[in-house]
Structures are given as structure tokens and as C-alpha cells.
Amino acid sequence: MKKYIGTKLVQATPAIRKGGKVYLPTDAIPRTMEVAEEGYKVVYEDGYESYSPKDVFEKAYKVAETFKDRLLIERQDLAERFSKLCAFVDTPKFEEVVKDEHQRDLLLQQRDYMGEYLNILNQRIEALG
């Protein structure tokens, strides 16, 4: 099977699922012996609605309500990729995997530019307060 990466923009609100039914915080939740599961009611761009358990949702999605939120997400994603690249190029495996010297040089340049990019993102976030 092929691997796929997807990104979805969704709207969500905390919710409880009990007995297969989803309740919002403002709803009356019936008192039964069934377990109440914390999670989110999720609305996709096409209007489709679903429920996602809290841990699954919070692992997959980050709040992107404001410009600063989006910068923080961008910084986190870049920092993770930058950290992995730095760890990789500092190992003997780097030369084993990337055999072409020109490609190695380009990857080292990419590391340098990613570091600069991360520095600029940090400055922008700091300037927003």
C-alpha cells in the first residue's frame, strides 16, 4: 500500500458521547450507567459532522483560530523537521544514505536555511507578544 499525508481544516467543539449519541456542553446528558466519553463534535468543510475521541482529536489537530496560532503551528512543524534533519546529518548514516556529494551539500544548506527560517519565526512570534 502507498502512504498518504492529509491535512484537513475543521471546526470542532468539546462534546460527550454516551450510548452512541453525541452531546454538546449545553445539552442535557442523561444519567445512565453507560460510560460518558470525552471528545469533540467535528464539522468538516463540506458540512459532514462526526465525533472524535479527545485523545485522537488532540493528537491530529491544533487550534488555528488566530494568526499567532498558525505561526505557532508552523514553528512546531518546522522545529520537528529541523531537529530530525540535524540528527540525521550528524550521523555516519548520512553519507551511507545520501551517496551523491552534491545532494549532501544541498541537504546541509537546507539545514542552515531551516535554522534561519526557525529563527525568523521565533522573532515574529515574540514580536506579537
At residue 124, what is the residue type? R
List the chain pLDDT tens, one digit each, 129 residues: 998 877 888 999 999 999 889 999 899 888 887 888 999 999 999 999 999 999 999 999 999 999 999 999 999 999 999 999 999 999 999 999 999 999 999 999 999 999 999 999 999 999 999
At residue 58, what is the residue type? E
**What values do phi and psi take at 58, rounded to 5?**
-70, -20
Separation of alpha carbons 51 and 23, rounded Å: 10
User: 39: which strand partners?
Assistant: 15, 53
* Cα–Cα–Cα angle for 21, 64, 78, rounded to 5 degrees: 125
Please enumerate in sequence order all residues whose Cβ is within 8 A of that of 6, keeping only pairs 6 or more positions apart, or say none.
none
At residue 40, what is the residue type? Y
